[in-house]
A and B are shown apart, each in its own frame.
Chain A
Amino acid sequence: MDRAEATVVITNEVGLHARPAALFVRKAKEFESNITVQNLTRNGEVADAKSPLGVIKAAISQNHEIHIVAEGPDAQEAVDALVTLVETELA
């Protein structure tokens, strides 16, 4: 079982709310691996990245640092794709 992780800062004005949150979850669901996201800035709980409720409740706002962890066959691809999403489309 592969494991991959990354830490990234949200630059988006509205944070991971509303449409950005939906896009993030949609992207996470494209992968087989289990993926979690944690709001490091708020020292929040570890949330399921494929759960919109979980991601929204993590209350990720602009300039918050988040920690993404994936475990599964496509762990590295999943983390790379989510980081790219945050840094490009959601920037």
Chain B
Amino acid sequence: MSRLLKGVAASAGVAVGPIHRHRDELPPLPEGRPANTEAEIERFRRAVGAVTEHLSRLEETTRAKVGDDAAEIFAAHAMFLEDPAFIGPIEEEIRTRGVFAEVAVSHTAERVAGEFAEMEDEYFAARAADIRDLGNQLLRQLLGVGQSDLSTLTEPSIIVAHDLTPSDTALIPPGMALGFCTMVGSAVSHTAILARSLGIPAVVGIGEVSEVDGTTAILDGTAGTVLLDPSEEEVAAARAEIERRERERAEAALHAREPAATLDGHAVEVVANVGNSDEAERAAEAGAEGIGLVRTEFMFLDRPDLPGEEEQVEGYRAILSHFPTGPVVFRTLDVGGDKQLPGVEIAPELNPFLGKRGIRLTLAEQAIFRTQLRAILRAGPGRPVHVMFPMVASVSEVRAARQVLDEVVSELDREGTERATDIEVGVMIEVPSAALMADLLADEVDFFSIGTNDLTQYTLAVDRTNPVVAPLADALHPAVLRLIRQVVEAAHERGRWVGVCGELAGDTLATPVLVGLSVDELSMSPPSVPLVKNRIRSLSRETCRELARQCLAAEDPAQVRELLAAS
């Protein structure tokens, strides 16, 4: 009997295959006493040896695939396993209290983590997490449940997990992830963003599922569904859909590097959204003409300390190196209360998406802001660079941010530090007030980039992280399209260009309406670049304009989708 699970569509495409259930839950600890205390200590030491070996493998893989900083985490974990202050009390407890190793590990890890958690600094809270993580790995080893490790996957699978962290996903061997499905999470979670950048279908927020390991499933990342135990017919239909998509991709890839213009000769710039140098490389290979959005926050998250200026310069330079000529737009740090920044205290917020985030945060934390701006300007000496501010809601914020930028430029010049020459400044249009004030904002900047994901959630009052209402967050809502039109008109009147960098930009269904609304640049996850270019080449600008007019007059997203599907 097949069973259909519904979640939130996070990355388009279809996958068929066995489910690999990535587990982080543990079985109960053994009760009673081991027969032989010394043998129990020996068993504990063997577990330490096995976990140490496992950590050194993780360190190696991570160093090769992700980078030195991420790998350091595992090296640090391995050091704790040699630490007499950690290992000593565990052996002591087994010896004196005659308990099983699992019990002693659990006690000691909790106690040591607790001591760290009590210390005031966030850095120590992160160490508490390290110790708990390490205790968990020892327990898994002792309990014989194996490490919850995705690096040893040998069969291409649909990976089902409670949630996936960036370090989890980074370890998956190439080709082994057919699709991602998480029980929690939203279309803006790490899993979702990563899946889109890799072109892997994903469904998130599916809720609790049990006993699915090894079950065959069809994951539909466009519809946001997972079908368990499908019939043969359903599998055949899904495979046909996968093949159709692959053919489409192969065909589009043939012309990926050619520019994209409509049948009547109107060129649209097709660029990519990236978070790091690897993604920038994939973007260049996919035929992106530049980078419309560098998500600089990726360098700041999941680490114990803030990246210094030199480290940022190197990171940004690596991204620029893949686009020696094309435009590259650096969006300054876009985090808020939902993502912890090491060393930055943000009081808990009831609604972080309406809280201190984006430019609100960086204007308040000027040291971080200045360091980042210095690094962006230093990364490409002598070349043009685009700097973009996120979460702008009013003109005064842009003025304040520009002033900081101007000060940083003068500072670099005073020092005689080499820097980027032509600096274009832009803002993200993602808050409805910014869209409505686009005419005045256009006087302050050189370009706009419309972030349709956030613009949609703020315009429609829909929390995209809430699976109950997430389906209502449709960027093809006529209200969102009307705001896009208003922004483009205000910008073009003043000679500014406008990009779209939300998911809408990479959706080929939406391409005609965006072309019809005269958007100048579309920025998307790298795998979508060839597909969108192909779509643009099949369109006539005049027809698109008429279609856009009809879409703007539609009542709801459903009508817009009908109009687009028929076009």
Residues on A lying within 8 angstroms of B by beta carbon are 13-14, 17-19, 22, 25-26, 48, 50-54, 56-57, 59
Chain B nearest CB, measured from A55 CB (Å): 10
Chain A residues lying within 8 Å of B119, measured Cβ to Cβ, are 57, 59
- Most chain A CB within 10 A, of B79, B80, B84, is at B79
Q: 9 interchain pairs (CB within 8 A)?
A: A13-B308, A14-B305, A18-B123, A51-B84, A52-B76, A52-B83, A56-B116, A56-B127, A57-B119
B305 touches A53 (CB 8 A): no
CB <8 Å contact, A51 and B85: yes
User: What residue of chain B has the Cβ atom nearest to residue A26's Cβ?
Assistant: B79
Q: Which residue of B lies closest to A17 (CB)?
A: B123
Instruction: Quote the shortest CB–CB distance from A5 to chain B (angstroms).
Output: 22
Interchain residue pairs A-B with the least CB separation, the first 8: A53-B85, A51-B85, A52-B79, A18-B304, A51-B83, A53-B83, A14-B305, A52-B83
Assuming A52-B80, A53-B80, what are 15 further A-B pairs, CB within 8 angstroms?
A17-B123, A17-B304, A17-B305, A18-B72, A18-B305, A22-B72, A48-B85, A51-B84, A52-B76, A52-B79, A56-B124, A56-B127, A57-B115, A57-B119, A59-B124
B75 at the interface (CB under 8 A from A): yes
- Within the complex, which residue of A18, A50, A57 is in contact with B116, where a contact is CB–CB below 8 Å? A57
Tell me whether chain A's interface is mostly helix, strand or loop, or mixed: helix
Minimum C-beta distance from B173 to chain A (A) = 28
Interface of B is mostly: helix
A52 to B79, CA, bound (A): 7
Tell me which residues across on chain A come within 8 A of B86, comparing CB atoms. 53
Q: Which residue of B lies closest to A54 (CB)?
A: B85
Interface residues of B (CB under 8 A from A): 72, 75-76, 79-80, 83-86, 112, 115-116, 119, 121, 123-124, 127, 304-305, 308
Q: Which residues of B contact A13 (CB under 8 A)?
A: 308
Bound together, the chains give a CA A13 to CA B304 distance in angstroms of 13
Which residues on B sit within 8 Å (CB–CB) of A25? 79
A49 and B406 CA atoms in complex are apart in Å by: 46
How far, in whole Å, are A48 and B85 apart by their CA atoms in the complex? 9
Q: What separation, in Å, do the CA atoms of A48 and B76 have in the docked complex? A: 17
Complex CA gap A25/B308 in Å reads 23
Across the interface, name the chain A residue whose C-beta is closest to B76.
Answer: A22
Q: How far is the CB of B87 from chain A (nearest CB, A)?
A: 10
Q: Which residues of B contact A50 (CB under 8 A)?
A: 84
Check if A53 sits within 8 Å of B72, measured CB to CB.
no
CB-CB < 8 A to A26: which residues of B? 79
Residues of A with C-beta under 8 A to B121: 59
Which chain B residue has the least Cβ–Cβ distance from A20?
B305
Q: Which residue of A lies closest to B306 (CB)?
A: A14
Q: Known contacts A25-B79, A53-B112; is A48 also within 8 Å of B305 by CB?
A: no
Residues of B within 8 A of A18 (CB): 72, 76, 123, 304-305
Instruction: Kindly name the residue among B84, B112, B115, B308 whose own CB sees the greatest number of chain A CB atoms within 10 A.
Output: B84
Interchain CA distance A25-B86 in the complex, whole Å: 14
Task: State the Cβ distance, A36 to closest chain B Cβ, in Å.
Answer: 13
Question: Which single residue of chain B is at the shortest CB-CB distance from A53?
Answer: B85
Write out the residue numbers on chain A whose beta carbons fall within 8 Å of the beta carbon of B116. 56-57
Residues of A within 8 Å of B124, CB to CB, are 56, 59
A59 to B119, CA, bound (A): 9
Residue of B with least CB distance to A29: B82
Q: For B343, give the chain A residue with the smallest CB separation.
A: A14
Question: Which residues of A have CB within 8 Å of B85?
Answer: 48, 51, 53-54
Q: Given known contacts A53-B112, A57-B116, is B123 in contact with A22 (CB within 8 Å)? A: no
A37, B412: Cα distance in complex, Å: 40
